[in-house]
Structure 1
Amino acid sequence: MSQIYWINGPIIKSKDVNDFMMQEMVFVGKNKLMGEVIGIDEDFATIQVYESTTSMRVGEEIVHTGTPLSVDLGPGLLGNIFDGIGRPLKQIEKKFGSYLEVGQDVPTLDATIGWDLTFKVKKGDYVSKGAILATFFETGAIEHRVMAQHDGIIASDCENKSYTTQDIVVSYESGETQTLVNTWPIRHERPVKERIDAKEPLITGQRVIDTLFPIVKGGSAAIPGGFGAGKTMLQHQLAKWCDADIIVYIGCGERGNEMAQVLEEFGELVDPKTGRTLLERTILIANTSNMPVAAREASIYTGITFAEYYRDMGYHVALMADSTSRWAEALRELSGRLEEMPAEEGFPAYLASRLAAFYERSSFVKNLNDSIGSISIVGAISPQGADFSEPVTQNTKRFIGCFWALDKNLAYIRHFPSINYNQSYSEYLSQLNSWFDSHLGEEFLINRQRILSILNEENRLMEIVKLIGQDVLADQQKLTLEMARVVRVGYLQQNAFHKFDSSVSLEKQTAMLKLISYTYDECQKILKEKKTMSAIVETHIFDKIIGLKYNVDEDLSKFEEYYDFVNTQLRSIA
């Protein structure tokens, strides 16, 4: 029998080194707290405990499982909320009350619910691992696809009826059986047939992202920003409006009221894809700032494992991690308790490799059942003092394709999303060029490049304005500044609470870009006719275009009114 020899917060040690194996899940002490073996040397086995070790004593028993830290995968994940190690918080509340006590062992999946299966195979069929055996609707929005866990010939009758997670769904001639539950170690990526180069965008409905800094399905992105810059709000917007099938939202070390807001909003928001609540296709992982720090470290692996399960069914999954800085802080605290040699700013030397292991699980793949699925990862970063040179931000930049840098100054003037277009970038644009050309036309990329040029020229001109004022600028330069204002306020700034502006289709974005570009060209023609910039401003065409986002829905025929207004007003200049 293994026993506790040494305790330091969530880290304990045992002298019975020969009884343990690396990454084994164990249960520690009289309350049977879940833990994981994270180190073995000639003297001690070191265990990371995922609950509070308060009142634990030296000499208490450690129970071995012989298996790695794992979660149960199956029906009932969607619409539910879990802690960092996969325990369902709703079920815990029903059973034990509102306060989470240590040692509460509640299964991830509810075994009392029956699921009405429709089989896609029959007795005598040979199936390979990953093949779709049966389907049923897990929620009103998502069809659950039961996948084969073994290769072999089916020996059971495959009867269409109601099954619980404890019932045997199929048996094989080899003698193996399978239920609706698939237990999987969270630190191991689930297998796929092939990784594919992603060439399709994850459409978010946020103009600054879709137009300037797009992300592919199966890509990865980071949202760094100081306190109050709008990281959580932007992730909420992405979760609500992106065109993924499944949303996995991980609240990793964030405030409890933010997770409560997610629950409240997602439960009330009508999903534009299904007409039902968004929560029906969402999984929430809540490991808030007052929960055990070790479980925070495990929470992102729990979330990505849930995401991979639905990816394997052929779904496109978007995973939001808020925030990876709090996760890195958990690594730093645990590393300190392990007395490891600290690296930059006290973070462990393996910070970069842990970040890589997480972001590399983003994927666009052909699954074992030949379906196509993806996981897109968006991680928020909370650098202290909005210092993007700190280790978490710098190491994250090595492993992601999109960097959406939030600017606190933009947030201060209520410009949301507060993405700084000078610091942000996307490495996926070259992969998406052909998709944009075929779906939106060549004009989209041309106009995109044009508004970037206008914004860059504005930055250059503002240096002159700061020194000697705007009056010395030529009319052509004043036009550039005015068009930059139209781009910033009328296009890049977006109102998350407006029915027309909260989410915008790519077709409407393309139409808006075209109108802005057309207006710029027409104004340049007027200036060449020796008309003044002040006369153009007095026509109020710029304010009219800025207000378009609030006045026009997805009916693109209404844009003709704006073209007519621009032409009429410019022709009226004497």
Structure 2
Amino acid sequence: MSEQNNRGIIREINGPIVTITLPGVRNGEQVKIGERGLYGEVITLRGDNAVVQAYESTEGVRPGEPAEALGWPLSVELGPGLLGSIFDGVQRPLEEIFEGHGDHIPRGLSLPALDREKSWHFVPEESLERGTHLESGIRLGTVQETETVEHRVLVPPDRAGELVELAPEGDYTLEDTIGRVRTPDGRTRKLKLYHRWPVRNARPYVKRDHGVAPLITGQRILDTFFPLLKGGKGAVPGPFGAGKTVVQQQIARWSNADIVIYVGCGERGNELVDILETFPTLQDPYSGRKLMERTLLVANTSNMPVVAREASIYVGMTMAEYYRDQGYDVVMLADSTSRWAEALREVSGRLGQMPVEEGYPAYLASRLAAVYERAGRVETGGCDKGSVTLIGAVSPPGGDFSEPVTAHTKEIIQTFWALSKELADARHYPAIDWTGSFSEHVSTAGKWWHKEIDPDWEARRGEALALLARDAELLRIVNLVGPEALSSAQRWELEGAALIKDGVLQQSALDEVDTFSSPEKQFLLLDMALTVYEKGAELIELGVPVQELTDLPLLAKARRAKQVYDSTQTEQLLELMEEFNQSFDKIRTEYAKFEEHAQ
């Protein structure tokens, strides 16, 4: 686009929607709006007029002010320096903005996302020689981005061709040329440590692959009962106060992913402040170093422009795909997709589009599906395997799971962690409802558990869920006619289910021992609770009074084991299990003697 025809004029302003006359502009292109130079994106073309959604408040902007096309779509910078950073919804670095401009982001401010002054030590791939044909995703070399993560510098998707030159090992800034390629059209293109990529376009890969290993979060109800594979799609729906943000923070802190990307999309400022303050102080449980060395944050609070909120999900996903292409397992947490959908609804309403259920646009389901579809495990251009696991929080008004965002999400995802207000009110955390949640990954995760932990994992999980289902039925009877209507065996079933709820499912994020539970500990706690129930059920059949069993001190011990023994103390848990077995055997022996004496 020439200098003469990349300038236009503002015709109309409707909140974040601005109509400009700008002949030749393309759909999706970025523009600068008004004398303040606000950034926006073309979303509709009507002849020579373009409808633009502004990423910043249009207050004070008037019709007649100039507009300018920038020649490229909304894009992010991808290169060393992303990890440990905090960005806004359109990838502006918030820490640099705070240092230079204070608490508020000046409108029209444009800053590079990555530091142009910092030098990085680049080590080229020894196998690459001049004349080598380079495909997209081939590794050019490495940079040690943090102590925890090695950054793999890749051939960008638009730079495939014949290698003309590759820089020797040394220190380079992002703007330095580290190589040149000759593309099929005969042009020589520069290679740098970073490149740009449009956020609304999924990054290419060779082929999709099936997930093979679960994402271990250290949360028992997630890992043991409703597992999510690396490369899977999950959702955490729940009403206000049910603990969505805490669940996502626990996943971000404890998951065994290589890279964590947390996108705060339209959530309350106080929640994001808590994340921004605590994450830099946390220790990575796997490396012992700072958690932020493998984490980056995108913060777009509810008081920030609604259109930037809509863009923030795409910004986070593009950065997640970039690290996936390097062969890493990435987990991206979107908190929340409901606020993202509300941004779609507001823009749609201002465009005068026909609303459907609850005012959302007709394309809500397809947009949600398109975002979740970008998650997955893939084979990259460099023949590595990488994955993006997407976990979206959903905030249904009043906890109504039939509302459009939750209902559409439920049809798309593979793992559904439904939060319950009743459990949260009862102080049972995480408040994930085991009757309303599901996972389609149980059989695949079972192969991993069978190989790595215990062959009985899938069977024991099924037994626990069956006991919890019977417990729900029995509690309805108790609520109607009282506990006297239950037999001894049924009363013991209630006790066994309570032991699973208290000793396995309930887990405190604030307890230093209980906040994380390794897979080994998770299985031992589950097996212990079921063994106690089964041993007790055998004694009930022999005629032992249920009251004698419910008064046993070992039940309290079983409930407290999760907080007494950490994930390294599996031997002590096995010893405790043996102690329980001996206690039940002693009761069996004493009761047999009593029966013999009575006869």
Letter in 1 for 2:82: L
Contact 1:308–1:375 under 8 Å retained in 2: yes
Structure 2 counterpart of 1:185, one-letter code? P
Residue identity in the other structure for 1:303: G
- How far off its partner does 1:565 sit? 2.6
1:343 counterpart letter in structure 2: V
1:30: how far off? 1.2
Amino acid paired to 2:164: A
Query: Take 1:423 and 1:510, find their aligned partners in 2: how far apart are those partners?
Result: 22
Instruction: Choose from 50, 61, 64 the match for 1:45.
Output: 50
* Cα separation, 2, equivalents of 1:548 and 1:216: 28
Q: 1:217 and 1:20, CA in 2 relative to 1: closer, same or farther beyond 3 A?
A: same
- TM-score, normalising length from structure 2? 0.93
1:5 alignment counterpart: 11
Is 1:503 aligned to 2:516, yes or no? yes
The one-letter code sitting in structure 2 at the alignment partner of 1:563 is M
Counterpart of 1:489 in structure 2 is 502
Alignment of 1:397-476 (within 5 A): 397-476=410-489
Secondary structure, in 3 states, of the residue corresponding to 1:156?
Answer: strand
Matched, 1:567 2:581: yes
Q: After superposition, what is the alpha-carbon deviation per residue over 1:404-434, rounded to whole angstroms, capped at 9, x for unaligned?
A: 1100111111111100111111112233232
Q: 1:489/1:128 Cα in 2 relative to 1: closer, same or farther (>3 Å)?
A: same
> What is the match of residue 212 of structure 1?
225
Residue in 2 that maps onto 1:280: 293
2:138: which partner in 1?
Answer: 131
Equivalent residue for 1:478, pick from 491, 509, 513: 491
| Percentage of identical aligned residues | 43
Measured in 2, the distance between the counterparts of 1:125 and 1:118 equals 19
* Mapping of residues 19-168 of structure 1, within 5 Å: 19-42=24-47, 44-121=49-126, 122-124=128-130, 126=132, 127-149=134-156, 150-168=159-177
Query: Are the aligned partners of 1:249 and 1:320 in contact in 2 as well (CA < 8 Å)?
Result: yes
CA contact (8 A) 1:539 1:569 kept: no
What is the Cα deviation at residue 125 of structure 1? Answer: 5.2
Q: Does the 8 A contact of 1:536 with 1:570 survive in 2?
A: no
Moved more, 51-60 or 153-162: 153-162
Give the CA deviation at 1:157: 4.8
In structure 2, do the counterparts of structure 1 residues 311 and 157 end up closer, same or farther at CA, with 3 Å as the change threshold? closer
Shift of 1:195: 0.2
In the aligned structure 1, how far is the partner of 2:379 from the partner of 2:270? 39
Tell me how far 1:572 sits from its aligned partner.
Answer: 4.0
Q: Distance in 2 between matches of 1:190 and 1:568?
A: 59
SS in 2 for 1:226: coil
Provide the rounded CA distance (Å) in 2 between the counterparts of 1:72 and 1:452: 46
Could you tell me how far 1:543 is from its partner in structure 2?
1.3
The residue that corresponds to 2:194 in the other structure is: 181
- Rounded to whole Å, the distance in 2 between the matches of 1:125 and 1:458 is 69
Q: Secondary structure at the match of 2:489?
A: helix
| C-alpha RMSD of the superposition | 1.4
Answer with 548-557 or 181-190: which moved more.
548-557
1:312-339 residue CA offsets vs partner (Å, 9 max, x unmatched): 0000000000011111111111111111
After TM superposition, the structure 1 = structure 2 runs for residues 535-550 of structure 1, keeping only pairs within 5 Å, are: 535-550=548-563
The separation in 2 between residues aligned to 1:505 and 1:567, in whole angstroms, is: 24
How far does residue 98 in structure 1 lie from its aligned partner after superposition? Answer: 2.2
Match of 2:311 among 298, 307, 315: 298
Offset at residue 93 of structure 1 (A): 1.5
Q: For residues 125-145 of structure 1, what are the alpha-carbon distances to aligned partners after superposition, in whole Å with 9 as ceiling and x for unaligned? A: 513221111112111111101
| CA offsets 1:275-317 (integer angstroms, 9 cap, x no match) | 1111111110011011111100100000000100000000000
- Structure 2 gap segments, 5+ residues each: 1-6, 591-599
Give the C-alpha shift of residue 442 in structure 1: 2.4
**Secondary structure, aligned partner of 1:117:** strand
Cα distance in 2 for residues equivalent to 1:402 and 1:98? 38
Q: Distance in 1 between matches of 2:534 and 2:400?
A: 40
SS at match of 1:139: coil
Aligned mates of 2:280, 2:337 — CA distance in 1:
25
Aligned to 1:14: 20
CA contact (8 A) 1:37 1:45 kept: yes
Change (3 A) 1:518 1:82: same
Task: Indicate if the aligned counterparts of 2:80 and 2:193 stay in contact, CA closer than 8 A.
Answer: yes
In 1, Cα distance between equivalents of 2:44 and 2:574: 68
CA-to-aligned-CA distance 1:106-135 (integer Å, 9 cap, x gap): 001110110011111454151322111111
Please tell me the residue identity of whatever aligns with 1:21: R
Q: What do the CA deviations read for 1:159-207 (whole angstroms, capped 9, x no partner)? A: 1111111111111255211111210000000000110011211111110
Pairing partner for 2:408 from 360, 377, 395: 395
Unaligned stretches of 5+ in structure 1? none
* 1:316 alignment partner in structure 2: 329
Structure 2: which amino acid aligns with 1:50? Answer: Y
The aligned residue for residue 597 of structure 2 is none
Partner of 2:4: none
Using the TM superposition, give the Cα deviation of residue 65 of structure 1 relative to its aligned residue in structure 2, in angstroms: 1.9
CA distance in 1, matches of 2:460, 2:110: 57
CA distance in 1, matches of 2:167, 2:176: 12
Encode CA deviations 1:250-278: one digit per residue, 9 max, x unaligned. 01011112111112221111101111111
Equivalent in the alignment of 1:245: 258
**Aligned partner letter, 2:74:** L
TM-aligned CA deviation for residue 403 of structure 1: 1.0
